[in-house]
Amino acid sequence: MDFALTETHDMTRRMVRDFVEREILPQSLEFDERQDFPAGWARTMGELGLLGIFVPQEWGGSGLDSVSYAIAIEELARGDASAAVIAAVCNGLACEPILRFGTEAQKETYLRPLASGTWIGAYALTEPGSGSDAAAMRSTATLDGDEWVLRGTKAFVTNAYAAKVLITYARTGPKKHDISAFIVPTDAPGYAVVKKENKMGIRASDTLLVGFDGLRIPAENLLGERDKGFSIAMATLDGGRIGIAAQALGIAQRALDESTRYAKEREAFGQKIAEFQAIQWKLADMATEIDAARLLTYRAAWKKDLGERHTYESSVAKLFASEAAHRAVDQAVQIHGGYGFVKDSVVEKLYRDQRITEIYEGTSEIQRLVIARAVLGK
């Protein structure tokens, strides 16, 4: 078995890390406090090819592999989790379904500007009354001549303020899974922003409640086959969970970095606290779990690059990395003591940013269901 990364992987890490240190770190706490969408970060990520990392160059992307994608998201999250989720949604939830299920015309019209970073993409699956049970959605789409008419409400839509296009789902038949996927330009008649959420973490990433009030889009904006959208949503989430695992991994690594630095500087009882075994064991546990999370995340990305089904591997990576990050940020606050509890502390922000990684794109409970079904052969 070869665990070595390629030269391209190393170059990707250096490039993203340089961008993070140059642009993201100096502004991170400010954007978090203001809850502003970091348009400058998004613009630079587009210019660097970070919004269409694994999209082939023929469609405007960088043409890299999924391991490069995981590395990029990890490094972005070390700087600011909001930057990571902006890129993860554009890559995994906007570009990927069009790349996999779109027509040539859809790829030319929508994928190319998304992958090149000219446009920002969003994803609208969850509704106020349907989260983990995504098939219980109530939004509807009816065909009226050569147009689809959408009605309903979508919750927790990341990137929606800045997005030019979003991938959404609506009910198109009487059965529970008669759901179809659609490409919706945000300037379409009937599209409305209802509310911006005031979140605990990832506050520089906008999260909106949006409405479709008789929204009209051309018939050709159906993505894939009619009534087959639920399978598109689930397949998209398989890849999306790699991005969330990488985001959690980056948060956890930053927590370890900050804790190690602080432990070497902080003195108590006449010595650096890094000399205390209690602190050393916390750091050791954090490092061990982060290493394991990184291997699981990269394995899932590698399996995706092989073109093989990776539902199990993605769920394992997402579950373990998000919960390992939870433990890491908790220990980071403990190591920092009172200084970890104040708002101008990096680890206080990490503590808030991490929590969502155990919720979106499938809660930890849903990941355990997916994993258990694989184990039981269901």
Gap between the Cα atoms of 271 and 264, Å rounded: 10
- Angle of CA points 315, 320, 324, to nearest 5°: 155
Cα–Cα distance for residue pair 230/179, rounded to 1 Å: 6
Pairing mode, if any, of strands 165-171 and 121-124? parallel
pTM equals: 0.96
Task: Describe the crossing of helices 346-354 and 81-88 by its angle, rounded to 10 degrees.
Answer: 30
Q: Is residue 290 within 8 Å of 218, Cβ to Cβ?
A: no
| CB atoms near residue 209 (< 10 Å) | 18
One-letter amino acid of 325: A
- CA angle centred on 253, ends 250 and 258, rounded to 5°: 125
Which domains can be identified in the chain, with CATH numbers?
Answer: 7-120 (1.10.540.10), 122-227 (2.40.110.10), 230-376 (1.20.140.10)
Catalytic residue from among 75, 258, 358, 361: 361
Q: What is the pLDDT along the chain (378 residues), one digit of tens a residue?
A: 788 899 999 999 999 999 999 999 999 999 999 999 999 999 999 999 999 999 999 999 999 999 999 999 999 999 999 999 999 999 999 999 999 999 999 999 999 999 999 999 999 999 999 988 999 999 999 999 999 999 999 999 999 989 999 999 999 999 999 999 999 999 999 999 999 999 999 999 999 999 999 999 999 999 999 999 999 999 999 999 999 999 999 999 999 999 999 999 999 999 999 999 999 999 999 999 999 999 999 999 999 999 999 999 999 999 999 999 999 999 999 999 999 999 989 999 999 999 999 999 999 999 999 999 999 997
Is 238 within 8 Å of 317 (Cβ atoms)? Answer: no
Pairing between β-strand 267-268 and β-strand 271-272 as defined by DSSP bridges: antiparallel
Q: Identity (one letter) of the amino acid at 241?
A: R
Cβ-Cβ contacts under 8 Å for 298 (sequence gap 6 or more): 67, 70
Active site residue 361: yes
Of the candidates 45, 81, 75, 40, which has an alpha carbon nearest to the alpha carbon of residue 203? 81
Residue 102: CB atoms within 10 A of its CB come to 21
How many residues can be counted in the chain?
A: 378
